[in-house]
Amino acid sequence: MIPYNAPIQDMRFTLNHVVGLPKVAELPGFDAVTPDLVDAVLEEAGKLARDVLAPLNWVGDQEGATLENGVVRTATGFRDAYLKYVEGGWNSVPFSPDYGGQGLPWTLALPIQEMWQSANMSFSLCPMLNQGAVELLTAHGSEEQKRLYLEKMITGEWTGTMNLTEPQAGSDVGAVRTKAVPQGDGSYRISGQKIYITFGEHDFTDNIIHLVLARTPTAPAGIKGISLFVVPKFLVNADGSLGDRNDLRCAGLEHKLGIHASPTAVMAYGDNDACVGYLVGEENRGIEYMFTMMNNARLGVGMQGVAIAERAYQQARDYAKGRVQSRALTGKDPNPVAIINHPDVRRMLLSMKSQVEAARALAYLTAFALDNAHNNPDAEARKHYAGLNDLLTPICKAWCTDLGVELTSIGVQVHGGMGFIEETGAAQHFRDARIAPIYEGTNGIQANDLVFRKVIRDGGAAAFALLADIKNVAAQAKDGPGDDLATIGTNLQAAAHAVEQATTWLLEAGKADPVAAASGAVNYLRMFGVTIGGYLTAKGMMAAVEQQRDPSADHKFLDAKLVTGRFYADQVLPTTLGLLKPIVEGHRSVMALAEDQF
Amino acid sequence: MIPYNAPIQDMRFTLNHVVGLPKVAELPGFDAVTPDLVDAVLEEAGKLARDVLAPLNWVGDQEGATLENGVVRTATGFRDAYLKYVEGGWNSVPFSPDYGGQGLPWTLALPIQEMWQSANMSFSLCPMLNQGAVELLTAHGSEEQKRLYLEKMITGEWTGTMNLTEPQAGSDVGAVRTKAVPQGDGSYRISGQKIYITFGEHDFTDNIIHLVLARTPTAPAGIKGISLFVVPKFLVNADGSLGDRNDLRCAGLEHKLGIHASPTAVMAYGDNDACVGYLVGEENRGIEYMFTMMNNARLGVGMQGVAIAERAYQQARDYAKGRVQSRALTGKDPNPVAIINHPDVRRMLLSMKSQVEAARALAYLTAFALDNAHNNPDAEARKHYAGLNDLLTPICKAWCTDLGVELTSIGVQVHGGMGFIEETGAAQHFRDARIAPIYEGTNGIQANDLVFRKVIRDGGAAAFALLADIKNVAAQAKDGPGDDLATIGTNLQAAAHAVEQATTWLLEAGKADPVAAASGAVNYLRMFGVTIGGYLTAKGMMAAVEQQRDPSADHKFLDAKLVTGRFYADQVLPTTLGLLKPIVEGHRSVMALAEDQF
């Protein structure tokens, strides 16, 4: 199995020179974020990812998680790995110091999360879902809830889960039917079935804190009648010790295409009408609370797309360097060469590398916007960055996870026949990657969110502001120095112009004909994603050119940044030109067939 | 599990009105091909596919094939299905009547093959590989070999396999090391290991006839020193009865991403130095012989891409009609609707439907060219069609199989969370589809074949001839009647123009800089594939408009042809515009990184 090594040099370059981690470090609350700390944290996380989590990835795929008599056993080594992860303090990185967290910015927490995801996507889901639960309780829990549950969820002594979906309530979370009946003692009796509950049951910790969406007897219908409850696996006594087993159980584990080591549970609440839950915040505000964590969870899933593509890239690259097959296309040497020397294999590898780096920068930029939206001392700046974060989040979630599928597929292809053999490991990444465009809001839903809530609602203000910035960068790059910068400047300008035209069209169409706007949404999101990727790539190239002036810099790395960016400019950015017509004209046929004509 | 129904109406429409099956029926040797026969054959094949093969697809995936003590057991029901298939005479459809075949044209045999592939891709591989072996023996075997082996391989009493690959000889088949030492009695002693041997061992039949590439002691190095041998599992006596077990065995089965029910064998020849093989034709001409079946095998794999996408489409379509979730985007009804009513789900389904139909037409057209290349009485016409078949084959293989992966992925996406659950069945299609861009020459190799051997070698003659035809159709369509035809005419013209520019560039670049040409090959193939798909879609739309004049025609079907074609025109054809730059400019960075900069 080819090992995983965190791409720390690219991460650090992107953080410091493309996205602006140093600016985040200047924000109030983040003074601990010194360059030394950043280095130490990235290095140490990289070691845990490489030495502990990555070696379990294949075992986890083969063994999966198993359910027997209501008990879920995770794959060999996973529990130990979790304990090491908790022992290292990794679980508390981004959380509030008020409850024992380290309070580091998301801009730094995200690259760390990326490492867990690359190393072992299944494993990384447990902390990721816990993170959502922590954010919810931090924002909306009572002081007692925080003391009883939150602190242990931050250390990692217990884990949290998110229980939204039911068989009839997937994308339409308003259709939730799980019941919560008040008992007069402040608690509620919970009953219902939840599906797709990630790490809904496991053997990592003594307790699991479920956050469950349910409906009280007097709740209004639909999305406005949903409340949020804490439902612990074991009830917790006032002194924090474990009490009785609650009336909830894992009723089944799904048999999935990928992420086999992540137990996806069917959860049954209240089989014996004795499941105790506690209201979080106020009744009927559950969906509103969910939005607290939604952007962040979507950012985390977008990061997964990048992370799994990075892992697939490393796998394909190392295979291509080692596999000897066929003579070189040019020259007279009849001896076979490593396949990395064949032009189409190179093209595939650069296609992976250039898009992984662009998408990574987009994910980190989204985190940067999030930190500024929360911690920037200037109210105007907070508002600006909140708008940017809102705009970027669906793009990051959908574009990066689509790339995850596409690039892991290229990774399989680089291997030839060996790519189809499971033991190689490339196929697992392809299977694992396939969930990310689906969960945490399908990519179709992300596209609608982008078009209707993030672009049309503010009359395109946030989109045009970002496009203005993109055009500035393109104009700067066009001036060079050098052909690589000039090329990305030119092609970025053309891409930005296409996004502008599409945006203008959407603003018109969205009013007159929402179906037309919705029909073009996925292509619009992709076009925007590719363009933002080009913008961040151009920024990275300009920074690289700047640094090349220093003779002591790592020129091999900087030169590679320019070639990789040039590839993105030549081969990726122009695909936006093929998307404009599908957006502005493609809607005409989308709804034109009757159902029985399909 | 959602059933499979062969899309006979679309198949027949495409055969008769887009591709020209009636013209094939006029060729010498094909007088049996009456409309009644075509109907009967398609209907009956559709029944076998629906009732026998499709219901085994999921079982086959779950059980796979198992190896115990050298014996391979296929999944439950597969042997019975094979016997039914043979009993129905399906195995002999396209083969020479001289040896018991039915001698039907490939243009008709291919849609039948498509049905087996849609219904059960794993099962379909056994007849497909046998077909290659049959073609080889028919063209190059001795009369005795034909009498002893070929006739039973045509009835299906025995199956044939193709043994090319070895661990060090994949894409580079010239690196084959398996030895064949003449014994002085006309036979050879074979020794070596072959991998990736599809249905290399199984329990369908009493004997298996392996065709094996090997090297004689005096053979020149490389590709010019490879000979072809018949190596039966059981030796065959002069009277056709089975003799001794030959010294060959299945040494392992691969653990694969998909097509689990197709045993992919590691074959060991001559463990005891007693493996008997018989030379086919002359020594050192093995690779030349392989080309006899190569085009056809690649066409068959291209068809698989379409077939698996068709199956995934039917699965996604039926799911989308049944799954109720969220209210409609417009209107005031608060009740949830079937998800087929949501614009992005429609877009996904039409993206599948329109590309499946276009790709199907391309595959059938390739078969049409093949039949004409063999059976057209006019020498000029034969030459023309041989050139067309040569040009279309790599495009069909690679474009259709890339679509297979992309469209089965969309199929998963349509299902939302259920798509990731294996029991739904959508994920299996996605896994199964992934092999087709790899085997029978990777899609990168197809692209190089297209660029260097099919375009550059004849100075672009075949490519420009086809483009001229495409531009004629585009011009015709532009004149209408109606907006749909006008649109596809316009967009097809633009696409053809882009292919023309790329072709002109390749002809220049190919001479000066083969690496540049190779770097653009995959994008060029895709662009050409999408454009030919548009050309055939436009032809279908024009035929539909023509038929709409008949009040008794099936207007629901014809109207759907126009809407589906319009979707292709609006949403698929314009993507070619994003590929020109990557082809003509994208090569500049492809080889610019040093190996250690990856």
Q: A34-46 burial by CB neighbour count: b if 16+ within 10 A, else e? A: eeeebeebbeebb
B-chain residues within 8 Å CB-CB of A255? 421-423
Q: Active-site positions of B? A: 440
Closest-CA distance, A307 to chain B, in angstroms, reads 17
Shortest distance between the Cα of A372 and any Cα of chain B, in A, equals 33
Q: Is B448 an 8 Å CB contact of chain A?
A: yes
- State how far the alpha carbon of B101 is from the alpha carbons of B90, B117, B154, B473, in Å: 10, 21, 6, 37
Asked whether B468 and B486 are in contact (CB, 8 A), the reply is no
List chain A pLDDT tens, one digit each, 598 residues.
Answer: 799 999 999 999 999 999 999 999 999 999 999 999 999 999 999 999 999 999 999 999 999 999 999 999 999 999 999 999 999 999 999 999 999 999 999 999 999 999 999 999 999 999 999 999 999 999 999 999 999 999 999 999 999 999 999 999 998 999 999 999 999 999 999 999 999 999 999 999 999 999 999 999 999 999 999 999 999 999 999 999 999 999 999 999 999 999 999 999 999 999 999 999 999 999 999 999 998 888 899 999 999 999 999 999 999 999 999 999 999 998 899 999 999 999 999 999 999 999 999 999 999 999 999 999 999 999 999 999 999 999 999 999 999 999 999 999 999 999 999 999 999 999 999 999 999 999 999 999 999 999 999 999 999 999 999 999 999 999 999 998 999 999 999 999 999 999 999 999 999 988 889 999 999 999 999 999 999 999 999 999 999 999 999 999 999 999 999 999 999 999 999 999 999 999 999 888 999 999 999 9
Tell the residue number behind the tokens 């319009």, with chain if given: B566
The C-alpha of B472 sits at a distance from chain A's nearest C-alpha, in angstroms, of 23
Can you give the residue ranges of every domain in chain A? 8-155, 159-284, 443-591
CA dihedral for B239, B242, B244, B248, sign (positive or negative): positive
Distances (CA, A) of B195 to A332, B132, B265, B578: 30, 17, 6, 39
Question: What fold is seen in the domain A159-284?
Answer: Butyryl-CoA Dehydrogenase, subunit A; domain 2 (2.40.110)
Helix, strand, coil tally for chain B in percent (to 5): 60, 15, 25
Nearest chain A residue to B352, by CA: A598
Q: How far is Cα B485 from Cα B489, in angstroms, rounded to an integer?
A: 6
Task: Classify residue A570 by burial, with Cβ atoms within 10 Å: 0-12, 13-18, 19+.
Answer: buried
Q: Closest approach of chain A CAs to the CA of B107, in angstroms?
A: 25
Q: Which residues of A are catalytic?
A: 440
> Which residues of chain B are under the pLDDT cut of 70?
none
Evaluate the CA torsion angle B442, B444, B446, B448 in order and state its sign: negative
From chain A, the residues in CB contact with B570 under 8 A are 581-582, 585-586, 588-589
Contact between B535 and B494 under an 8 Å Cβ cutoff? The reply is: no
C-beta neighbour count of B592 within 10 angstroms: 18
Which residues, numbered 515 to 554 in chain B, qualify as contacts with chain A under a Cβ-Cβ cut-off of 8 Å? 515, 518-519, 521-523
| The token pair that represents A395 in the structure block | 């793009």
pLDDT score, position B480: 87
Q: What is the ipTM of this complex?
A: 0.97
Residues of B in contact with A519 (CB under 8 A): 343-344, 346-347
Residue B335, chain A, CB below 8 Å: the answer is no
Q: Which CATH superfamily includes the segment(s) A8-155?
A: Acyl-CoA dehydrogenase/oxidase, N-terminal domain (1.10.540.10)
Q: Is B260 on the interface with A (CB under 8 A)?
A: no
Amino acid B318: pLDDT: 98
| Greatest CA separation for chain A | 87
Query: Is residue A276 within a helix (H) or strand (E), and if so which, with residue range?
Result: strand A276-279
Q: What's residue B597's pLDDT?
A: 96
Helices (H), A249-378: 286-322, 343-375
Picking from B420, B440, B484, B561 by the largest number of A CB atoms within 10 A of its own CB, the best residue to mutate is B420
* Chain A residue with Cα closest to B442: A416
For an interface test with A, give the residue of B58, B323, B590 to mutate (most A CBs within 10 A): B590
Helix (H, G, I), strand (E, B), or coil: what is residue B216?
coil
Nearest CA to A441 out of A536, A508, A530, A525 is that of: A525
